[in-house]
Amino acid sequence: MPYRYNGDTWLDQETRKLIIDGYAEMIKKHVDDGWKPNYVNFMFNHIPGCAVTKMDAMSAEVNRVHNILTRNIVKRPKAKLWCHLRPIFIGCHDLPVWKQIWRGRKALDHGFHRAVACFLRSRDGE
């Protein structure tokens, strides 16, 4: 399934702040409830196609890793009684941009990355 990206329609600063605050509140709630936060960075090199095709491939790969992790943690991932143990991935694309480097030179960061905050919960709620 192709994903939609915020290409030419930019969100205003107020909307972006509300979105960020909402995610921050959700993350704090999960950590307070005993979820263990982890940072995962997926690196992708040499994915053919345009930027949208690359982002779709990146999202599909991150979803694949989430599904594998879920099956290794939860006995029955789709059962309602086990759903509270499923890992949570919150992430975004990190696309190539021009970056300021030493002595005023600029360089293009050529890598496509996907940064993910992964939250895991133990079965006993610790």
What is the residue range of 71's domain? 42-126
Q: Is the pLDDT of residue 7 over 80?
A: no
User: Does residue 26 fall inside a structural domain?
Assistant: no
For tokens 């143990």, the residue is 85
User: Does residue 28 fall inside a structural domain?
Assistant: no
User: Does residue 13 fall inside a structural domain?
Assistant: no
Q: How many domains does the chain have?
A: 1
User: Does residue 125 fall inside a structural domain?
Assistant: yes
Contacts of 91 (CB under 8 A, 6+ apart): 40, 62, 114, 115, 116, 117
User: Does residue 61 fall inside a structural domain?
Assistant: yes
User: Does residue 10 fall inside a structural domain?
Assistant: no
pTM exceeds 0.85, yes or no: no
So what's the pLDDT on residue 92?
85
Tell me the C-alpha distance between 16 and 24, whole Å.
12
User: Does residue 22 fall inside a structural domain?
Assistant: no
User: Does residue 117 fall inside a structural domain?
Assistant: yes
